[in-house]
Amino acid sequence: MSMRLEKRATSSAAALLLAPIGAVLFTLLVSSVLVWWAGAAVTQTYGLLLKGGFGSVFALSETLTRAIPLILTGLAVTVAFKARLFNIGAEGQLYVGALAAVAVGGMHGGSGFDLPPMLLFVLMLLASALAGALLLLGPALLKARMGVDEVVTTLLLNFIVLLFVSMMLDGPMKDPMAMGWPQSVALLGDLELTKLIAQTRVHSGLIGACVLALLVWAMLKYTVFGFDIRAVGANARAAAFAGVPVTRTVALAAMLSGALAGLAGAIEVAGRTSYVTLDMSPGYGYTGIVIAMLAALHPLGVVAASVFVAGMLVGADSMSRAVGVPTFIADVIVAASLIAVLVATLLTQYRIRWK
Amino acid sequence: MIELFDMLAQPGFWDAVLRIATPLILGTLGVLLCERAGVLNLGIEGIMVAGAFTGWLAVYSGAPLWVGVAVAAATGAVFGLLHAFLTVVLALSQHVSGLGITLLATALSYYGYRVSFPKVSTPPTVTPFAEMDWLGIPILAQQTPLTLLALLLVPALAYVLYRTPVGLAIRMVGENPQAAEGQGVSVAAVRTGAIVAGSALMGIAGAFLTLSAFNAFFFNMVNGRGWICVALVVFASWRPGKALLGALLFAFFDALQLRLQQSGGSTLPYQMYLMLPYVLSIVALVLVARKASYPQALMKPYRKGER
């Protein structure tokens, strides 16, 4: 017996929307075997996971706080993947963005640069966006001009950047007040983002991230540049033949992608951490890839997928404290959801024929 | 300069080179096998973690060392089968499927470790492979049998690829799957076999870390070695002999940076030395990029009867 995929003539909108939801439910069902292995009651564990992520104002505020950098790295990956540029380096771009933010807005020498806070805030965001953009421009040009695979170069750059950050935290950007703890000088208090709800950590970066999602969506859908990105991503040769400037489009898409990931770093520093540390991102750049794929590269879907993934990660912490199932269950669910959603999405476009 | 020569004259230095190279040789051969059949396998980073964990867990539970290696290979093969199902049968994006497998295999391994050892503060240990003192060959006698296995696999894989019908089939489905299908070769079967075998090698590469280089399982112990293997395959132009050369060259620089770091007296921050291997990998990729001869069908999904 063998199987073969046959393209469906049409796929209904309902199927496209239900596919990811069904895939996630399927993943939860399969993952329950792991929960059972850890010796916990499955329904109680999932109940606590859900409650810890979404069950109270505090839980929701933590989830939304965690979703902010994920929305931005998810958007970064979306823009790059749309242009068929496999940016696996959002993690590194986030860190250079954070470093650039503190370089501009940090309390160097105790007082920092003597500029009006509004101007300094804008400069800080520009610097972090530029740092992220330039970090991805290199691999994008190497790919476009010389055919160097961008997957490997962006992956390796993540390791180089993390070592570079470590070097900066030991050297020129070291916090003199930190007693040898590896962290950068603090960001100026004036540059920190305001909290949206009192006594929680959720900050105005959430609004910024959602606005950027809308802008990226509108850009991809309604502008010539957005059309060029989609054309290059669909078929670079055909796009070139139709007069789309392929190298320029890929380079600009790379800069936009890197800038979004760089901004994630600046907004984390300004909204949550106040310092650059070596553990400020527990893999937000890599999770951004999962989010972009869960959202099927739709910028507004990225916001929904980020809230889902953030809820899982936040909920796992309190669930683990209560019933002792390791927090890594959230990572398993997220990774398995990615694979399940890919398969489910495929099945909305193809049907399986056995013969 | 004289210090440098002293360093290179010590046999201990070359022991370290071969030790660092071993997981890279195994992993690179694994990636090479998959890519020769036309399939990128970015699952390697996670498959190495999973192989390191399951191989070690088997030995910790009382199995002999070689059974641990077999368990690691089988773990790799299972993830390889999943990658083959996603990329060959369903023809999904090879990039995304591979990254998904890396995330899944890593998360499952960490989860399994925490479930098995909820409260340990220092990682439990096993007795790793012993050095092959009986061999009597300098440098090689200071290695474990897994290093010998890795070295022997290089000519073995070259022989299979270039001198056997199976090897011809693998290269054909990686270069021109339509033509292979025309010759009666099942593209799906050959690609699946190559991915499963290659992933088993990646699993053994991981097991080397927990059963030979160290004696315990740590988080983040693979630390990008899998990605380095993906780069080394390009550097090696998809040839086993050059893959060995690349792995040794990489290990040479890695051992060198370790020694330079330890020798002190240096004014450079230690992070600069740690960066060196990653920087060199990128430089190597750029240098060979112009003449890289990719397998023609690499990363191109093949659906029977579809053009």
pLDDT digits (tens, 9 = 90+) for A240-254: 999 999 999 999 999
Q: Is the pLDDT of residue A269 over 50?
A: yes
Q: In this structure, which long-range contacts are made by residues B61-64, counting pairs with CB atoms below 8 Å and at least 24 apart in sequence?
A: none
CA A291/CA A286 separation, integer angstroms = 9
Share of chain B above pLDDT 90, in %: 68
Predicted local confidence at residue B7, as pLDDT: 75
State which amino acid sits at residue A52. G
Cross-chain Cβ contact A332/B111 below 8 Å:
yes
Predicted local confidence at residue B305, as pLDDT: 65
Q: Average pLDDT of chain A?
A: 92
CA A312/CA A321 separation, integer angstroms = 14
State which amino acid sits at residue B13. F
Better-scored residue on pLDDT, B256 or A219:
A219
> In 3-state terms, what secondary structure has residue B100?
helix
Do strands A3-7 and A350-354 pair parallel, antiparallel, or not at all (unpaired)? Answer: antiparallel
pLDDT digits (tens, 9 = 90+) for B36-56: 999 999 999 999 999 999 999
Better-scored residue on pLDDT, B12 or A317:
A317
Q: Which of residues 288-307 of A touch B (CB under 8 A)?
A: 289-290, 293
Q: With contact defined as beta carbons under 8 Å apart, do A31 and A336 qualify?
A: yes
Residues in B touching A328 (Cβ below 8 Å): 107, 110-111, 114
Predicted local confidence at residue B266, as pLDDT: 64
Cross-chain Cβ contact B275/A163 below 8 Å:
yes
- For residue B93, what are its two tokens? 């994006």
Predicted local confidence at residue A201, as pLDDT: 93
Predicted local confidence at residue B2, as pLDDT: 63
Predicted local confidence at residue A32, as pLDDT: 95
- For residue B56, what are its two tokens? 């070690």
Any CB–CB contact under 8 A between B162 and chain A?
Answer: no
Cross-chain Cβ contact B111/A326 below 8 Å:
yes
Predicted local confidence at residue B264, as pLDDT: 63
CA A286/CA B123 separation, integer angstroms = 27
Cross-chain Cβ contact B96/A342 below 8 Å:
yes
Share of chain A above pLDDT 90, in %: 76
For residue B90, the distance in angstroms to the closest alpha carbon of chain A comes to 8
Residue A290 banded pLDDT, cuts 50, 70, 90:
very high
For residue A201, the distance in angstroms to the closest alpha carbon of chain B comes to 27
Q: With contact defined as beta carbons under 8 Å apart, do A98 and A280 qualify?
A: yes
Residues in B touching A151 (Cβ below 8 Å): 42, 95, 230
Q: Which of residues 30-49 of B touch A (CB under 8 A)?
A: 42
When pLDDT is averaged across residues B201-206 and rounded to a whole number, the result is: 98
Residues in B touching A290 (Cβ below 8 Å): 100, 103
- For residue A63, what are its two tokens? 């989830």
Q: How far is CA A275 from CA A30, A95, A161, in A?
A: 40, 12, 17
- Closest partner residue to B231 among A3, A4, A156, by Cβ? A156
Q: Is the pLDDT of residue B205 over 60?
A: yes
Q: Report the chain B residue with the minimal C-alpha distance to residue A165.
A: B271
For residue A118, the distance in angstroms to the closest alpha carbon of chain B comes to 35
Better-scored residue on pLDDT, B152 or A173:
B152
Q: With contact defined as beta carbons under 8 Å apart, do B50 and B75 qualify?
A: yes
Any CB–CB contact under 8 A between A189 and chain B?
Answer: no
pLDDT digits (tens, 9 = 90+) for A275-288: 999 999 999 999 99
Q: In this structure, which long-range contacts are made by residues A10-17, counting pairs with CB atoms below 8 Å and at least 24 apart in sequence?
A: A11/A348, A11/A349, A12/A348, A15/A348, A16/A296, A16/A345, A16/A348
Any CB–CB contact under 8 A between B269 and chain A?
Answer: yes
Q: Is the pLDDT of residue B265 over 80?
A: no
Q: Average pLDDT of chain B?
A: 91
Q: Which of residues 127-156 of A touch B (CB under 8 A)?
A: 142, 146-149, 151-153, 155-156
Cross-chain Cβ contact A163/B271 below 8 Å:
yes
CA B303/CA B297 separation, integer angstroms = 12
Cross-chain Cβ contact B111/A155 below 8 Å:
no
Q: Is the pLDDT of residue B116 over 70?
A: yes
Q: How far is CA B123 from CA A315, B56, B120, B226, in A?
A: 27, 12, 6, 23
Cross-chain Cβ contact A342/B86 below 8 Å:
yes
Cross-chain Cβ contact A148/B269 below 8 Å:
no
Predicted local confidence at residue A267, as pLDDT: 97
Any CB–CB contact under 8 A between B115 and chain A?
Answer: yes
Residues in A touching B226 (Cβ below 8 Å): none
Q: What are phi and psi of B268, to 5 degrees?
A: -80, 145
Cross-chain Cβ contact A342/B100 below 8 Å:
yes
CA B97/CA A5 separation, integer angstroms = 18
When pLDDT is averaged across residues B125-136 and rounded to a whole number, the result is: 87
Q: With contact defined as beta carbons under 8 Å apart, do A183 and A173 qualify?
A: no
Residue in the structure block whose two tokens are 């929680």: A200
Better-scored residue on pLDDT, B25 or A115:
B25
- ipTM topping 0.85: yes
Q: Which of residues 10-49 of A touch B (CB under 8 A)?
A: 34, 37-38
Q: Is the pLDDT of residue A1 over 50?
A: no
Q: Which of residues 243-272 of A touch B (CB under 8 A)?
A: none
pLDDT digits (tens, 9 = 90+) for B62-107: 999 999 999 999 999 999 999 999 999 999 999 999 999 999 999 9
When pLDDT is averaged across residues A142-168 and rounded to a whole number, the result is: 92
Nearest-CA neighbor of A310 among A293, A330, A329? A330
Q: Report the chain B residue with the minimal C-alpha distance to residue A77.
A: B96
- Closest partner residue to B115 among A37, A155, A290, by Cβ? A37
CA A132/CA B206 separation, integer angstroms = 33
Strand partners, A350: A7
Better-scored residue on pLDDT, B306 or A175:
A175
Cross-chain Cβ contact B224/A155 below 8 Å:
yes
Q: How far is CA B85 from CA A294, A333, B88, B94, in A?
A: 19, 20, 6, 11
Q: How far is CA B249 from CA A21, A220, A296, B29, in A?
A: 48, 45, 41, 15
Cross-chain Cβ contact B279/A160 below 8 Å:
yes
- Secondary structure of chain A as H, E, C letters: CCEEEEECCCCCHHHHHHHHHHHHHHHHHHHHHHHHHCCCCHHHHHHHHHHHHHCCHHHHHHHHHHHHHHHHHHHHHHHHHHCCCCCCCHHHHHHHHHHHHHHHHECHHHCCCCCCHHHHHHHHHHHHHHHHHHHHHHHHHHHHHHCCCHHHHHHHHHHHHHHHHHHHHHCCCECCCCCCCCEECCECHHHCCCECCCCCCCECHHHHHHHHHHHHHHHHHHCHHHHHHHHHHHCHHHHHHCCCCHHHHHHHHHHHHHHHHHHHHHHHHHHHHCCCECCCCCCHHHHHHHHHHHCCCCHHHHHHHHHHHHHHHHHHHHHHHHHCCCCHHHHHHHHHHHHHHHHHHHHHHEEEEEC
Share of chain A above pLDDT 70, in %: 99
pLDDT digits (tens, 9 = 90+) for A93-134: 999 999 999 999 998 877 788 889 899 999 999 999 999 999
Q: Is the pLDDT of residue B144 over 50?
A: yes
Show Cβ contacts of residue B118 under 8 Å, excluding neighbours closer than 6 positions: A324, A326
Cross-chain Cβ contact B227/A293 below 8 Å:
no
Q: Is the pLDDT of residue B307 over 70?
A: no
Residues in A touching B100 (Cβ below 8 Å): 290, 293, 335, 338-339, 342
- Closest partner residue to A328 among B91, B107, B290, by Cβ? B107
Residues in B touching A88 (Cβ below 8 Å): 99
- Counting every residue, how long is chain A? 355
Any CB–CB contact under 8 A between A278 and chain B?
Answer: no
For residue B280, the distance in angstroms to the closest alpha carbon of chain A comes to 10
pTM: 0.93
pLDDT digits (tens, 9 = 90+) for A24-67: 999 999 999 999 999 999 999 999 999 999 999 999 999 999 99
